[in-house]
Amino acid sequence: MLPVIYSEEFLDHKTGKYHPENPERLKAIVNALKEATFAEKIAWRSPTPASEKPLLMSFLVQAHTPNYIKKLWEIASSGGGYLDGDTPVSPRSYDVALLAVSAWLDGVDAVLATANPAFVLARPPGHHAESDAGMGFCLFSNAAIAAFYALEQPSINRVAVLDWDVHHGNGTQAIVETNPQIAYCSLHQYPCYPGTGKATERGFHNNVLNLPVPPGSDITVYQPLWENKVVPFLANFQPDLLIVSAGYDANADDPLASINLQPEDYALFTDYCLGLTRKVIFGLEGGYDFSTLSQSVLATIERCLF
């Protein structure tokens, strides 16, 4: 059984009818999973309410400034608004973003309890959220907060964050790169939003590996990078836990980028991860074509069931 952590409350982060990061993304994935041939092997779990995780805020403030957390709460409490032109906040967005953080922390707990993977099916996404600003559809830096939380667990000394979203996780990198116990690796289109993630960036402890790929790239570009760069980098770091920022917007049909991957390619990516360790948390980031998004999530989860 594979834990999938999900709540219908994640649909309450309202972004507007025409915004690409909308509740319909999760609905499409849930419907596909319930109709999958392996549906009976999925263990659906509700995330722990944030109010029942007394230490959640202590990990939140490791990643974000109190002023930013307060600002987000104030915008939501006053009826909503925008953090930037791309990042709307609705009345329930603050609470839903906290629940998403809790879901990622539950993912850590699930993986450490079983030494097997888990999938966190949450929104809003997080890898663009910086310490003092939300941006790029992202409110809280879910993966970074999960990494900080994991390092407080007795069996964890090193955590790796792998970001295969088509956009560079500027927020995650900025938040974790000063910590020698965390490694960050990203494969992303360049040039592309947000314009960060140069190959020359190595982190403060040689703990960052950025692999920018040009528009039009497909699996023939990605596979050698995985085998010659990603896997050796992560294997050398020897993480006790691997957190994957699993964005699926590098698909050829995705409207927000220009990479030509196919859903089945994510099965290969998943195999590479599981070849390093079974202790893997996959957490949803981007992916805006509902069909290929759903197929790609299915490809990831199906490989985890072997």
- Tens digits of residue pLDDT in 91-120: 999 999 999 999 999 999 999 999 999 999
Residue 176: count of CB within 10 angstroms of its CB: 29
User: Would you state the pLDDT for residue 222?
Assistant: 98
Q: Which residues, 6+ apart, have CB-to-CB distance to 31 below 8 Å?
A: 294
- Are the CB atoms for 297 and 270 separated by under 8 Å? no
Local confidence band at 304 (pLDDT 50, 70, 90 cut-offs): very high
Average pLDDT for 52-77: 97
With bands split at pLDDT 50, 70 and 90, how would you rate the model's confidence at 163? very high
Residue 261 to residue 266: CA distance in whole angstroms: 8
Q: Which H/E stretch holds residue 182?
A: strand 182-189
Amino acid 306: pLDDT: 84
- Using DSSP's 3-state secondary structure scheme, residue 5 falls into strand
| Predicted local distance difference test score (pLDDT) of residue 69 | 98
Residues 6 or more apart in contact with residue 220 via CB below 8 angstroms: none
**Mean pLDDT within 205-224:** 98
Q: What is the mean pLDDT of the chain?
A: 98
How is residue 53 written in tokens? 């995780």
| 45: its two tokens | 């779990």
Catalytic annotation, pick one of 64, 127, 128, 188: 128
| 164 DSSP 8-state letter | -
Give me the long-range contacts of 53-61 (CB less than 8 A, separation at least 24).
Answer: 53/102, 53/105, 56/98, 56/101, 56/102, 56/105, 59/101, 59/105, 59/145, 59/148, 59/149, 59/152, 60/98, 60/101, 60/140, 60/145
DSSP-derived secondary structure for 240-291? SEEEEEE--TTBTT-TT----B-TTHHHHHHHHHHHH-S-EEEEE-----HH
The answer to whether 166 touches 192, Cβ cutoff 8 Å, is yes
Q: Are strands 87-89 and 81-84 parallel, antiparallel or unpaired?
A: antiparallel
Judge contact between 277 and 239, C-beta under 8 A. yes
**CA dist 102 → 37, 106, 251, 283, 294 (Å):** 29, 6, 28, 12, 23
Cis? peptide before 239, omega within 30° of 0:
no
Q: Which domains, ranges and CATH numbers included, belong to the chain?
A: 3-304 (3.40.800.20)
What's the one-letter identity of residue 220? T
Ranking 50-54, 66-70, 131-135 by mean pLDDT, the lowest is 50-54
Residue at token pair 């400034």: 65
pLDDT-based confidence at residue 2 (cuts at 50, 70, 90) = very high
> DSSP assignment, residue 226?
I
pLDDT band at 201 (very low <50, low <70, confident <90, very high): very high
Amino acid identity of residue 251, one-letter, is N
Q: How many CA atoms lie within 13 A of 273 on its CB side?
A: 30
Q: How far is CA 128 from CA 22, 39, 217, 280, in A?
A: 16, 32, 22, 21
Query: What confidence score (pLDDT) does residue 245 get?
Result: 99
pLDDT of 153 reads: 96
- Confidence check: pLDDT of 300 > 90: yes
Say what the pLDDT of residue 30 is. Answer: 98
Q: Does residue 19 carry a catalytic annotation?
A: no
